């Protein structure tokens, strides 16, 4: 089941950003996915699925431009990662 959420956006914002409504909608969705992932409220896989991109693509973008860290650099993360080897 898909849900659609409407957001009011003044035309001036679209013109100022040089985006049409669909481009702006994707930008908002992408920023929301990044924020929810950074907060730990959305998994990288779910975020990638929501955006329709491969998980590796989402993770790369989240690290490069979204300010996300894949690991917290603590002992729990270390043990979880070495258990996968």
pLDDT of residue 60: 87
The residue extents of the domains of the chain are 11-83
- pTM of the predicted model over 0.85: no
**pLDDT tens across 22-55, in order?**
999 999 999 999 999 888 898 889 999 999 999 9
State the pLDDT at residue 8: 92
- The pLDDT assigned to 81 comes to 56
Degrees to nearest 5, angle at CA 66 with 63 and 68: 50
Q: What's residue 73's pLDDT?
A: 63
Distance, in Å, from the CA atom of 50 to the CA atom of 70, rounded to the nearest integer, reads: 19
Tell me the pLDDT band of 72, cut-offs 50, 70 and 90: low
């Amino acid at each position: 089941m898909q849900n659609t959420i409407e957001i009011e956006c003044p035309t001036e914002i679209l013109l100022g950003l040089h985006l049409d409504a669909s481009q702006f909608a994707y930008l908002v969705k992408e920023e929301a996915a990044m924020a929810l992932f950074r907060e730990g409220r959305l998994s990288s896989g779910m975020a990638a699925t929501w955006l329709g991109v491969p998980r590796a693509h989402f993770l790369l973008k989240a690290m490069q431009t979204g300010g996300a860290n894949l690991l917290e650099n603590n002992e729990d993360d270390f043990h979880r990662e070495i258990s996968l080897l």
